[in-house]
A = this chain, B = another copy of it.
Amino acid sequence: MNDLGITVKKDEDFAEWYIQVVLKSNLLDYAPMKGFIVLKPYGYAIWEGIRGVADKRFKETGHHNAFLPTLIPESLLSKEAEHFEGFKPEVFWVTHAGNDELGERLALRPTSETLAYEIFSRWIRSYRDLPLKINFWNTALRAEIKSTKPLIRTSEFLWQEGHTVHASKEEAEQEAMLMLSIYREIMEEYLAIPVIAGYKSEREKFVGADYTLTLEALMPDGKALQMGTSHNLGQNFSKPFSIKFLDKDGKEQYAWQTSWGISWRLIGAMVMVHGDDKGLVLPPRIAPIQIVIVPIFYGDETKDSVIEKCKNLYAMLRDRFRVHLDDREEYTPGYKFNDWELKGIPLRVEIGPRDVKQGKVVLARRDDGKKVSVGDEELLDAVTNMLEDIQRSLYTRASEFLKSHTFSAFSYDEFKERVEHGFVRAYWCGSQECELRIKEETGADIRVIPFNVNDTDMGGEGMEEQGIDRDGDMICIYCSRNAEKIAYFARAY
């Protein structure tokens, strides 16, 4: 089992542990091209789970799915100048079709704003056509120059990109915030990962946006991971792309827009946050298999009764849970235990000859390894409660880690020491110069300017927007000028 199982400890070599887990649990494999990966069926099933939850929420809130081509003509991609400058270094370019050189280069979409908005401009004439709320489940392609990491940073990734058009600034602001709240709900309630919500700094915002809202999580190695973003694009694209509408008074107006996205990076985050030395640990609400039933028998005389009971329980559980019966004959129970632990199945039901005789089963939790024996008649309730408890425990544990690894710093020395271990809250003067210097000197950048920081040991008058009461020394952690914001700094993936 040694070469099949994880051979390093999570807290000894986190990077190597991560790679072993994603490969050995059969989530994914490397593609023959550097920087690209393949999602294997188990990894894709997790993606289908996340997509299912998100898609339902998108539709409930009035969004519709659609399809856009993969290719974008260079002239279109470059129509919004800042946006193009931002993505240019990582664009894959198609120059030939068959043996023919193309008249104009075609970009593989790094993101679809430009193509979508060129088309939206034809669909919108009047306020009656608004809001337009479209989502695309597709991939984005960005040639990664930095070192890549499966699911976290790859040259092609599965994601969704939502694009909306509104008649007013306020409506676009509300939409950007609504989608952030839906993302947060998915992350916290399904993936069991707590996040910090707020704004990106000007330097870190999406190229072309008025502002970017972000959700940031903390990984066990103290590095931050951007989990999802929602951009208020203002009229920055509607002007170059001529997205105009006649309002109720018959006056022509430029529209207001948002875009927002989450990707398979969320799978990577779950692996990092919840996994342990035995492999994956999946939250029950998102696990493709929530319960695995493993029959245990030693001779042929007990086999039939054990298998029969397993099949009965499987039939009983399958209507309410995603359950799998592992009746493979060529593997031992011990092998199966390891295999399903590696794959992170939340709950294991073990059934042996004694359990058949006594009318009991053994339930083994993946998160804490505890085993309990319950009577057959209690099984449904026990399983229901235990899955809920695992979901809650994973979230609680991750929240405690986030809390214990989020620090305040009031001096640059404090800052430098603490940023080795997690998020550091600090006063910031608001200048991009300080932000850049800090990044150069410590490797940490501003991950998020949180909506609300009142529940911390910091405060500051004039930062009302963040809910801060001013007291103490409100000076920038780097330049000592008057502070304007409290920002969360961290090194990041």
Contact = CB atoms under 8 A, between A and B. Distances in A.
A69 B108 contact: no
List the 4 shortest-distance A-B pairs measured between CB atoms, nearest first: A41-B64, A97-B143, A39-B67, A93-B96
Residue in A40, A48, A67 with the greatest tally of chain B CB atoms within 10 Å: A67
Given A44-B67, A69-B36, A97 B106 contact: no
Contacts of A158: 67
A31 interface: yes
Nearest to A71: B33
Contact of A31 (B64, B92, B115): B115
A122 interface: yes
B119 A38 contact: yes
Contact of A91 (B93, B97, B118, B134): B97
Nearest to A95: B95
Given A38-B68, A156-B69, A108 B91 contact: no
B139 A106 contact: no
B66 A40 contact: yes
A457 to B, nearest CB: 44
Contacts of A134: 41
Interface in A26-51: 29, 31-33, 36-41, 43-45, 47-48
A99 interface: yes
A111 B480 CA distance: 59
A31 B98 contact: no
A492 to B, nearest CB: 22
Interface in A62-98: 64-71, 73, 76, 88-98
A12 interface: no
A106 B68 contact: no
A83 to B, nearest CB: 15
Contacts of A43: 66-67
A8 to B, nearest CB: 22
Residue in A33, A68, A69, A119 with the greatest tally of chain B CB atoms within 10 Å: A69
Contacts of A139: 70
A40 B116 CA distance: 11
A300 interface: no
Interface in A117-165: 118-119, 122-123, 128, 134, 139, 141, 143, 145, 156, 158
Interface residues of A, number: 53
A104 to B, nearest CB: 9
Main secondary structure of the interface of A (DSSP, over half): mixed
23 contacts: A31-B115, A32-B115, A38-B66, A38-B68, A38-B69, A39-B67, A41-B65, A44-B64, A45-B64, A47-B67, A48-B65, A67-B158, A69-B156, A70-B139, A70-B141, A70-B156, A71-B141, A92-B94, A92-B106, A94-B94, A95-B95, A98-B143, A128-B330
A145 B33 CA distance: 29
A387 to B, nearest CB: 23
Given A41-B64, A128-B330, A90 B95 contact: no
Nearest to A69: B36
B89 A98 contact: yes
Contacts of A69: 31, 33, 36-38, 156
Residue in A71, A73, A134, A141 with the greatest tally of chain B CB atoms within 10 Å: A71
Contacts of A71: 33, 36, 92, 141, 156
A207 to B, nearest CB: 15
A66 B46 CA distance: 10
A33 B44 CA distance: 31
Given A73-B33, A93-B94, A93-B97, A66 B44 contact: yes
A416 B95 CA distance: 43
B98 A95 contact: no
A100 B437 CA distance: 29
A69 B70 CA distance: 12
Contacts of A47: 67
A137 to B, nearest CB: 10
A41 B40 CA distance: 29
Interface in A264-323: none
A64 B69 CA distance: 25
Given A64-B45, A92-B97, A93-B95, A29 B119 contact: yes
A97 B68 CA distance: 22
Contacts of A65: 41, 44-45, 48
A29 B93 contact: no
